[in-house]
């Protein structure tokens, strides 16, 4: 057992830590308030090699291990969960199926440019009536002699207003199971719908997208007809571990702010942190943060070693996101009125953290699936 990070992992953590201190934290409040996609920072994250971390060097990635990736994700989320949500979408779900199943055209024209941060990708699974239950997807693809025709409506598509291409889950007229399609957004019939006003991660734009008779060539099928769910399982554990790392990032930001405030805010002649009520809050937050952080790294380690990790990735995501929400809630209480003021960042952490309860599977769904893993 070795709990020490390698030199490379420490170096990656430090690089992202410094970038977040210097470039992200000073802009995080503005990203949230303006509700604008942070293009410039997104490109800078691309220049750091983040989008290619989980892909091998022979396709332009850096071949980093998942622990290094989680450390980078945590740092980005510590600075701005909006930026981190947009960047993780690009580095994982938005590009994975292109890497895994794309032909030379898709890889050279889109994938390689996306992991450089030059093009932006998104994923379309959710529909108005299909959220946790993706078997409810009704987007339909007609299989023709020359390719495919896609019709349907998607919602909650991260980065949709700025994407160059989408990965779309749909049913085909010749198979009951889901298939995955590559869809450049400049094709006729791809229509951007309304942008959803959100409680948190407001700088990560989320919109509806619809498809009206979108013609796709044969090579835009990613994987096999009906193979969508199986393909998704290849990356699901990593998505959950990554979402857990996002949770650790926002929780760390809230915890750090609350600790500092507890040391400096004077009431009744003493720093509030000297009162047992506040001290116990900080202790509880620290216990949750440390245990969640270590469990997430454990799940990443299992993944790295290619050991079974289905249940552990769910535990990591469930526990880290629930802890993050509790930590942000407790931080808000430590700040009291200043935790309620829009000019202080604690309210943003509190709002942003709600996202971690949903992305990568809701807590209820994860508990049901963990229960199943227990043989119940
Ligand atoms: C900020 C943000 C970004 C997103 N980005 C994307 C994206 O890029 N692409 C994409 O495809 N989707 C995206 N989503 C959508 C997300 O994946 C879905 O919101 C998620 O799958 C949950 O679906 P739902 O919101 O429809 O909730 P529902 O599935 O309708 O669930 C509602 C409630 O019922 C509970 N529930 C559902 N089924 C069960 C059950 N069997 N037993 C017990 N409880 C149950 C849920 O836990 C939840 O509490 C995003 C969501 C958010 C908030």
For the residues of 292-308, what is the DSSP string, one character each? HHHHHHHHHHHHHTT--
Question: 188 pLDDT exceeds 90?
Answer: yes
In angstroms, rounded to a whole number, what is the distance separating the alpha carbons of residues 361 and 368? 11
222 sits in the region (left: phi over 0; alpha: psi -120 to 50; else beta) called: beta
Q: Which atom of ligand 1 is nearest to the CA of 154?
A: 11
Measured from the CB, is residue 132 less than 6 Å from ligand 1? yes
Q: Are residues 253 and 197 in the same domain?
A: no
Are residues 141 and 105 part of one domain?
Answer: no
Q: Do residues 263 and 236 both lie within one domain? A: yes
Q: How far is the CA of 77 from the centre of ligand 1 (A)?
A: 21
Determine if the pTM surpasses 0.95: yes
- Number of residues that this document lists for the chain: 376
Residue 350 predicted with pLDDT over 90:
yes
Strands (E), the chain: 121-124, 140-143, 147-158, 165-172, 175-184, 190-195, 206-217, 221-222, 266-267, 270-271
Ligand 1 close to Cβ of residue 365 (< 6 A)? yes
Domain end among 157, 189, 224: 224
If you average pLDDT over every residue of the chain, what do you get?
97
Q: What is the CATH number of the domain that holds 189?
A: 2.40.110.10
Distance from Cα 277 to the centre of ligand 1, integer Å? 36
Residues 240 and 335 reside in one and the same domain: yes
Residue 290 in this model has a pLDDT that exceeds 90: yes
For range 39-45, the mean pLDDT: 98
Q: Is there a single domain that holds both residue 169 and residue 240? A: no
Q: Is the pLDDT of residue 141 over 90?
A: yes
Are 233 and 362 found together in one domain? yes
Whether 146 is in a domain gets the answer: yes
Q: What is the pLDDT of residues 221-250, one digit of tens each?
A: 999 999 999 999 999 999 999 999 999 999
Whether residue 187 sits in one domain with residue 97: no
Would you state the pLDDT for residue 331?
98
Largest Cα–Cα separation, the chain: 80
**Domain range for residue 355?**
229-373
Mutation pick for ligand 1 pocket among 120, 242, 362 (CB with most ligand atoms within 8 Å): 362
User: In this model, does residue 1 exceed pLDDT 90?
Assistant: no
DSSP symbol at 220: G
pLDDT at 2 over 90: no
Which residue among 61, 83, 115 closes a domain? 115
Q: Is residue 31 part of a domain?
A: yes
Tally of domains in the chain:
3
For residue 112, the CA-to-ligand 1 centroid distance in Å is 30
1 falls within a domain: no
User: What proportion of the chain, given as a percentage, has pLDDT over 70?
Assistant: 100
Tell which of 115, 147, 179 closes a domain. 115
Average pLDDT of the segment spanning 187-198: 98
Decide: 163 in ligand 1 pocket, CB within 6 A.
no
**Mean pLDDT for the stretch of residues 42-56:** 98
Q: Is the CB of 368 under 6 A from ligand 1?
A: yes
- Do 98 and 68 share a structural domain? yes
Kindly state if the Cβ of 243 falls inside 6 Å of ligand 1.
no
Determine, yes or no, domain membership for 68: yes
Average pLDDT over residues 350-367: 97
């Amino acid at each position: 057992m070795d709990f020490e990070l390698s030199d490379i992992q420490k170096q990656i953590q430090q690089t992202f830590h410094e970038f977040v201190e210097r470039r992200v934290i000073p802009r995080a409040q503005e990203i949230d308030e303006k509700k604008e996609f942070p293009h410039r920072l997104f490109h800078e994250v691309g220049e750091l090699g983040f989008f290619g971390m989980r892909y091998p060097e022979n396709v332009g990635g850096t071949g980093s291990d998942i622990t290094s990736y989680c450390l980078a994700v945590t740092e980005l989320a510590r600075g701005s969960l909006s930026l981190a949500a947009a960047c993780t979408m690009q580095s994982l779900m938005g590009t994975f199926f292109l890497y895994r199943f794309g032909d030379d055209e898709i890889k050279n024209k889109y994938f390689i440019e996306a992991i450089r941060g030059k093009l932006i990708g998104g994923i379309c699974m959710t529909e108005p009536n299909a959220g946790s239950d993706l078997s409810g997807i009704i987007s339909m693809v007609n299989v023709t002699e020359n390719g495919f025709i896609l019709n349907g409506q998607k919602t909650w598509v991260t980065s949709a207003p700025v994407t160059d291409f989408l990965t779309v889950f749909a049913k085909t007229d010749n198979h009951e199971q889901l298939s995955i399609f590559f869809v450049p957004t400049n094709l006729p019939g791809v229509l951007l719908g309304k942008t959803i006003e959100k409680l948190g991660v407001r700088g990560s734009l989320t919109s509806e997208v619809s498809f009206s008779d979108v013609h796709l060539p044969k090579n835009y099928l990613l994987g096999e007809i009906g193979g969508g769910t199986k393909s998704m399982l290849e990356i699901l554990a990593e998505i959950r571990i990554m979402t857990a790392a996002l949770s650790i990032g926002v929780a760390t930001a809230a915890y750090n702010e609350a600790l500092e405030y507890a040391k400096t805010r004077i009431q009744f002649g003493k720093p509030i942190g000297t009162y047992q009520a506040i001290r116990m809050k900080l202790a509880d937050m620290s216990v949750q943060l440390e245990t969640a952080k270590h469990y997430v790294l454990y799940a990443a380690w299992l993944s790295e070693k290619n050991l079974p990790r289905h249940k552990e990735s769910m535990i990591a995501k469930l526990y880290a996101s629930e802890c993050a929400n509790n930590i942000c809630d407790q931080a808000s209480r430590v700040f009291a009125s200043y935790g309620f003021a829009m000019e202080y960042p604690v309210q943003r952490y509190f709002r942003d953290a709600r996202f971690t309860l949903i992305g990568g599977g809701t807590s209820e769904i994860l508990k049901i699936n963990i229960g199943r893993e227990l043989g119940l």
